[in-house]
Amino acid sequence: MTLLNVVIFLPLVAFLIILALPKDKPETIRVFSLVASLAVFVASLGLIGPVWSSAPGKFAIETNQSWIQSPAINYHVALDGISLWLVILSTLLTPICVLLSWRSIDKHIKQFFAFLLLLEFGLVGVFCALDFFLFFVFWEVSLVPMYFLIGVWGHERRIYSAVKFFLYTMAGSMLMLVGIIYLYNLAGTFDYTTILAGLQSGAITLSPVEQLWLFLAFFIAFAIKVPLFPLHTWLPDAHVEAPTAGSVMLASVMLKMGTYGLLRFSVPMFPNAARTCAGWIATLAIIGIVYGALVAMVQPNMKKLVAYSSVSHLGFVVLGIFSFTQQGFDGAVYQMLAHGISTGALFILVGFLYERRHSLEIGSYGGVATPAPWLSTAFMITMLASIGLPMLSNFIGEYLVLQGASLVYFRWTVFAALGVILSACYMLWLYQRVFFGKASEDLTHHMPDLGVREYAIIVPLILIMVWLGSYPQSFIPPISASNAILLGPLDARREIHVKSMPARPAPVLAAQGDLANAR
Amino acid sequence: MPANFAPSAADYLRILPEIIMTVAGVLIMLLEGWLGENKKRNLSVQTFVAFAAALVSAVAANGNPGLSFSNMLIVDGFATFFRVLVIAVGILSLFSATQYLKREHAESSEYYALLLFSVTGQCIMATANELIMIFIGLEISSIATYVLAGYLRDDKRNNEAALKYFLLGSFATAFLLYGIAWIYGTTGSTNLSTIRIALLTPGSETNVILAGTAAALMFVGFAFKVSAAPFQIWAPDVYQGAPAPVTLFMSAGPKAAAFAVFLRVFMTAFGPITSRWEPFVWSSALLTMIIGNFAALMQTNIKRLLAYSSIANAGYVMVAIAADSQIGVAAAMFYLAAYAFMNIGAFAVVTHFSRQGEKFVNVEDLAGLGWKQPVTAALFSIFLLSLIGVPLTGGFFGKFYIFKAALDANLVWLTVLGLLNSAVAAYYYLRILVVMYMKEPGEATLSLQPVGVGIAATLWISAVGTLVLGIFPSVVLNFATASSALVK
């Protein structure tokens, strides 16, 4: 029983225990959920050491055990530099979400906390699974609790949003399932490392057509989850209607399942197809960046604004991945973490405002800074982090992505950089309308400053934002090492690709060549 | 051959389950006359004992597999799998029926006897190695089920269901019989292995068209029984009209047995002419999935919704048959087992919820069930998630295995369309979840009584079965894989 297995299964055990607790003792349930999720978090911190000290970029803390004999399905989990931080992100945000829901969830308390821990089980599992079947299991398992979190504890249009969320993801998953089974029939295994090695060594060969279809089957599933423009329409609905904890988990962790899948599976396994489609995908990512920012600007609803800003930020991640450069990959992963913390914090702060005033409309606020200065300060720092101010979290990721992308598609990157400017516009304008101006008497009356529990939630997040932004060296070495391994074969493949298809040199490849010369 | 005329002891042991259930059925009918009114309740206990004994002897018979009664019956892994399955279905439907019959004031031994006879017929279908035996088994099973469908004879809906089922069923059986006659005329035999050999013999090319026609006729008969398109029209009406525990039984037992003979006849006897029938099965599978899932989207009555879902699920199994491979057979077997559990569970909830006279059978009536009876609703959710195909449930693994078989057989488009279909299906199952957990309880939910022992047992057994098949599928899957070789 390695520590990683403890981190994966502890939430499941906690889920079962909460189900067994009596429902008329809400305080016991809350305290237990908090203790359990904190225990998982502390345990997950212990994962950093082994990953850091293992061979750079390789998988550490591996468990590989047979689960189902025929077809051969293994319980294969391990961590590398990329998944390590995503696991910790999930385990960090779960106790925060428990605290966040301490008072704001007042009905069906037991089920709420149970689903939160089940969600953690699914999310942690997704980032550790190295067997495609297992990955799919966790992928779908995380869907169910989120569906209930939105549908039962959400706002007015919660049912519509929950069903839309479920069906969208389900449709994508089904295509991915076809891809997974197809790969199994070719390779005779679900094991990611074996399949990847086989594809790279030529033991498993895919015709260009096969590779393209497989790439698309996985890509659509991941792109829906990211969400990439134009598959993003479920996201604003789900975010706006979800309870705060649901929005936080959705934005901070669940969206990363998609980008993680792109980085871990789509790109390394189907490099040629990824190259072929890279132009289109980068274009969609850039459209997403600009479109998300523009739509965010005109939202009257705060949660919707933050939701569209997520579309914009996630566009950066996709752009970084499909630049096929080390900087782009590193930036993408860093942006995933930074976005997880900063957007999570934004949803939390919007949730604080909602708890006080029961409105998400920007118009019903104004002058909040006068009665609640500390809340305003916290919002200010978080907002600046989200904009990408240097020394705060998002800056590092966005910068690296833009640099990586500019090496490949310089002209287009200008538009992506525009997204950074636009994000300053919508965020500052939001801040101005909500926090400045003269507070009405009615508002002042309902606007106490942060309480102890709220400090406990937001202060750690702000500290992490500063840490992420000012000393990336504490995070980035394992990320880079793992990215270098994922990216490595892509470079090797380039020549094969050019040789085998001399008639059609794709523009991306030419740019890659320039890059190699420039180095 | 006079020497073989007297059956040996081994022959009897191989059909012991059928013997036990037949004798028990007859005894129960006689006992009713002898026992007073107040002792009738105990008959369910006797029925259970008979089923349990049959189950044990079916498992025991697998220890000594082989042909019996002049090759008319065969006991092998495949037969044992389906015998155990249909007897288990019989036991579960017995559990959920006792409470229902008391509620409707219709306790009488006929119900139990008919249930035993119907399961007997299904066991004969599972073991039949010969077309006449298949026909006999099918008739025993069907006639008992026709009567069960109209069991509450004062109820108009029951009568309608029984009459529809009977008329259309007889019509389909006639097709089957005609097909049997045709193949007998072509190959001179009704034994499945002999037919196979005859079709494999060089020079039998002229017979292929005749055999193909026979296969088509028999396909009509079987497709009706498993409610595959375009012969599925009866299913929604009958499922809706029949008493809820009978629907529970019909959608699992007779369907599984019909698929068993479908598989055996088409894989064994018609194996040599695969290329002739595969396109039909392929298109029927696709049509069944599409009709089932899209029609289910519009249903408001939960029995009808589950009826269309049952049609769609038959479509998935047809995909496995279209794959025409050992894996396909194993996948179909596994899926039928998983389907039996999840579907029985779902119908058990309907039986429990509908109350006397089946007043509450609309999806909307379930509003708020999740908070009124959390355990029942949680178990129902497991069945629904399994029907959707969410991992860690039997439904997911079954579907996964079916589509794996289909991709193995290069049925890429069927796989893609089938899986997208199951994304469509998610919508109507989710609707039930939505109503249960996200709507305020209405009159129907507030007046709900606690779950009785029988239904609770059905629910728990089905839920455990669904989860075990999803998390540890190996046991059943290995058995299914091993025995699929016997058919294909």
Chain B closest-CA separation from residue A206 CA (Å): 15
Contact call for residues A77 and A1 (beta carbons, < 8 A): no
The DSSP code sequence of B101-145 is HHHTT---HHHHHHHHHHHHHHHHHHHB-BHHHHHHHHHHHHHHH
8 Å CB contact between A100 and A116: no
Pair of tokens at residue B485: 């070789």
A329 lies in a domain?
yes
Cross-chain residue pair A144–B420, CB shorter than 8 Å? no
Of B408, B423, B478, the CB nearest to A69: B478
Q: Please indicate whether, in this complex, the C-beta atoms of A70 and B481 are within 8 angstroms of each other.
A: yes
A127 part of a folded domain: no
Secondary structure element (H or E) that encloses residue A65, with its range: strand A60-68
Please indicate whether residue A323 or residue A513 has the higher confidence score (pLDDT). A323
- List CB contacts (< 8 A) between A163 and chain B: 427, 430-431, 434
Nearest CA in chain A to B440: A152
Question: Cβ of A79: how many Cβ atoms within 10 Å?
Answer: 30
B422 touches chain A (CB under 8 A): yes
- Optimal mutation site among A67, A115, A137, A209, interface B, most CBs of chain B within 10 A: A137
Taking an 8 Å cut-off on Cβ atoms, the answer to whether A141 and B391 are in contact is yes
Domain range for A452: 271-497
The nearest CA of chain A is from the CA of B255 a distance in Å of 27
| Cα distance from N-terminal residue to C-terminal residue, chain B | 30
The distance of B11 to chain A (nearest Cα, Å) reads 34
Could you read off the pLDDT of A209-220 as tens digits, one per residue? 888 999 999 999
What is chain A's mean pLDDT, rounded? 85
State the nearest Cα–Cα gap between A182 and chain B, in angstroms: 7
Instruction: List pLDDT tens digits, range B112-128.
Output: 999 999 999 999 999 99
The pLDDT tens digits for A438-485 are 777 777 777 788 888 888 889 999 999 999 888 888 888 888 888 888
Contacts of B371 in chain A (CB under 8 A): 108
The upper half-sphere exposure of residue B318, i.e. CA atoms within 13 Å in the direction of its Cβ, equals 33
Is residue B40 over pLDDT 60?
no
Residue-level pLDDT at B386: 93
Compute the nearest-CA separation of A174 from chain B (Å).
Answer: 6
Q: Is B467 on the interface with A (CB under 8 A)?
A: no
pLDDT recorded at residue B38: 63
Report chain B's mean pLDDT, rounded to a whole number.
Answer: 88
Q: Is the pLDDT of residue B263 over 70?
A: yes
Instruction: For chain B, state the CA radius of gyration.
Output: 21
The token duo for B406 is 């289909």
Q: Which residues of B touch A177 (CB under 8 A)?
A: 400, 403, 419
The count of domains in chain A is 1
Report the chain B residue with the minimal C-alpha distance to residue A164: B427
CB pairs below 8 Å between A and B: how many?
Answer: 83
Domain membership of residue A118 (yes or no) is no
Residues whose CB is less than 8 angstroms from the CB of residue A484 and which lie 6 or more positions away in sequence, other chains included: A57, A326
Helix, strand, or coil (residue B464)? helix
Which is higher by pLDDT, A488 or A289? A289
Count of domains observed in chain B: 1
The predicted structure's pLDDT at residue A449: 84
| Cβ-based neighbour number of residue B364 at 10 Å | 13
Write down the pLDDT at residue A508. 44
Which H, E and C letters describe A460-505, residue by residue?
Answer: HHHHHHHHHHHCHHHCHHHHHHHHHHHHHHHHHHHHHHHHHCCCCC
Residues of A in contact with B396 (CB under 8 A): 140
Residues pairing with A66 in the sheet = A74
Instruction: Report phi then psi at B68, rounded to 5.
Output: -150, 165
Sequence-separated (6 or more) residues with CB below 8 Å from residue A335: A313, A316, A317, A320, A394, A397, A398, A400, A401
Nearest alpha-carbon partner for B354 in B74, B96, B161, B127: B96
CA distance A135 to chain B (A): 10
Q: Using a CB-CB distance cutoff of 8 angstroms, which residues of chain B are in contact with residue A152?
A: 437-438
Chain B residues inside the 8 Å CB shell of A151? 433-434, 437-438
For A23-78, write each residue's pLDDT tens digit.
888 888 889 999 999 999 999 888 888 888 887 778 888 888 888 887 888 899 88
Q: Give A205-249 pLDDT, tens digit per residue.
A: 888 888 899 999 999 999 998 888 888 888 888 888 888 888 999
Report yes or no on A422 lying in a domain.
yes
Res B80 pLDDT > 60: yes
pLDDT for the residue numbered B355:
83
Q: Is residue A408 part of a domain?
A: yes
Q: What pLDDT was estimated at residue B456?
A: 92
In a domain, A107, yes or no: no
CB B426 to CB A166 under 8 A?
A: yes
Chosen for mutation from A21, A106, A126, A166 (greatest number of chain B CBs closer than 10 Å) is A166
pLDDT at residue B3 in the model: 52
Interchain CB distance below 8 Å, A167 and B404: no
Q: Is pLDDT at A162 greater than 60 in this prediction?
A: yes
Domain ranges, residue B426: 2-487
**Residue B66 to chain A, least CA–CA distance (Å):** 27
Q: Please answer whether residues B129 and B73 qualify as being in contact, where contact means their C-beta atoms are separated by less than 8 angstroms.
A: yes
- Cβ distance A184 to B419 less than 8 Å, yes or no, reads no
Look at residue A265 and tell me if it is in a domain.
Answer: no
Complex ipTM value: 0.87
Point out the residue among A69, A152, A171 whose CB comes nearest to the CB of B420.
A171
Please judge whether A177 and B403 are an interchain contact, meaning their C-beta atoms are less than 8 angstroms apart: yes
Would you call A174 and B407 a contact, using CB atoms and an 8 Å cutoff?
Answer: no
Cite the beta strand spans of A237-313 per DSSP E. Answer: none
User: What would the pLDDT profile of B291-346 be if each residue is shown by its tens digit?
Assistant: 999 999 999 999 999 999 999 999 999 999 998 888 899 999 999 999 999 999 99
Q: Give the pLDDT of residue B441.
A: 86
